[in-house]
Structure formats: C-alpha cells, structure tokens
Amino acid sequence: MLESYLQEQRRKEEILLMTHIVLGYPSFEDSFRIVAEMVEAGVDMMELQIPFSEPIADGPVILKANQCSLSAGSTVEKCIAFAERAARTFNIPFLFMSYYNILFKYGVRQFAKVMAETGIQGAIVPDLPPEEGAEYIKAMTDHHLSPIFIFAPTTSRDRMKKIADHAKGFIYCVARRGVTGSDTEFSLEFQKYLERCRSATDLPLALGFGVKEKADVDFLRGKVDIVVVGTQTIRIVEKEGIKAVKGFIRGLRPNQSPLLRNPF
C-alpha cells in the first residue's frame, strides 16, 4: 500500500520528493527518458498526468504541455501503456493525475480496474470533491488504490477533516490559490495553513504549487512529508534538455548540489 511505502521512506529521509510529468510531452519516448532521469536522481514517487484539453488547476507551462501532447496524438490508452511500462521498469510508486472527465468517459470502475492491472498506486483528480466521488472512491477502494484528495489554503479545518475521511495514501496540500507554476510566498500565514493541515489528518502531507529550488525544500522540511515538483522540471527540459533533469532533481535533495554540466 502507498501509505506504508511512504512511512517506510520517511524513516530513511527527512522529506520525500514527488515529481510530475505530462505524458507525451515532448513525446512519449522523451517522457520515458525523463522518468528514467528522475528515478536515477532519487525521486520517491511520481505523478503521470494524462493530458486533458482543459486542465483547470494547471498554469501556462503545464497547460502548453497538455496541448502539445494532445496535438501530437496522445490518448488515454497510450498513457496507460506508458504507465504500465514505467511501473514494470522502475521500483517507485506511480500515480495518475488527470481530470474527472477522463475517468467519466473511460468508465470510473473500468479505469480503477485498469490502474490496478497496470501497477499504478493511486490517482489525483483535482476537480472531483469527495462528496461527488462515491463511485470513484468505492472503485479505488475495491482495487486497493489510493484516492488522493486536496487541501487548499481556503479549506476550513472542519472541511479538511471531512476530506481526510475519504483519502488514502496522502493528502495533497495546494500551497496557494490559483494554478500551478506561479511563485509561492512561504510566509507565516502559509506556515499556519500547514499547521491546520497537519492537525486535520494523520496521513502524510504533500505540498505542491510553487516548489522550484532547494531553498523551498529546505523550508518545508519538518512541515510536510513530501514536496512536489512539476512545472520547474518542464522549464528545465525546455531550456536545457532532458539530461539536465537529473542534476536539477539531485540539487533539491538535502546536502546535495546539482551535477556539474558539461561546458562543451
């Protein structure tokens, strides 16, 4: 189970690292190379985003990646095949991230069944609140998968507790209002928000939206269990190429610095 894995990893490391890629961007083969670089760099877990035409929680960088992937012919079936290949090749948990319309059109129960057969450990569906997700929650539970739900700075403590009652694996804490990719101010108010998250659940906490550098990871150590890096990796790939990913990811770790890059 995902939660047991996270607990075991936390005994080894102060803070865990989850990365995020958009499947099929820049291509499916490039996506696989990016996954390989990330795994070699030591990530603990990874989100595989199934592209969607209207990714409402995502900022311009990930939105563009979604659009490019779809334009190049990405399909749900291709994403599932990719996920199965990744899960069989690499010894870390993989999650799907996408929007509810993908699951609805595929068939929620069938989607959960295929996830389990593929080796995916859970899913993040940001536009599906738990009170509207009874079929999804049951299908995930039936197949021993983790439905990951979301806390936001605007979520009350009572609401957090209700959300946590339906969650498994971990809680994804959104660092701020808005979409992915923008700057996040790690302020005193933000710290109080994380304290509210911690008081609402015993599940591990993951923090995403705005984590870009080692200083962010250092600040979050002791406050959350997992940091999530997505948009910044895409920027690195676009500016410096896939081979730069490993050094970037290693540079986020405690007491590690980026690999020296070949100046030639």
Which residues belong to the active site?
Answer: 47, 58
Is the preceding omega at residue 126 within 30 degrees of 0, hence cis? Answer: no
Burial of 88 (0-12, 13-18, 19+ CB in 10 A): exposed
Q: In this structure, is the dihedral angle defined by the CA atoms of residues 82, 84, 89 and 94, taken in order, positive or negative?
A: positive
Asked if 234 and 34 count as a contact pair (C-beta separation under 8 A), the reply is no
Q: Which residues pair with 224 in a beta bridge?
A: 221
Asked if 161 and 197 count as a contact pair (C-beta separation under 8 A), the reply is no
Give the amino acid at 114: V
DSSP state of 26: S
DSSP state of 254: T
The Cα 82–Cα 18 span in angstroms is 18
Q: Which of 217, 184, 173 is nearest to 43 (CA)?
A: 217
Q: What is the dihedral of CA 155, 160, 162, 164, to 10 degrees?
A: 140
The pair of structure tokens assigned to 173 is: 């804490």
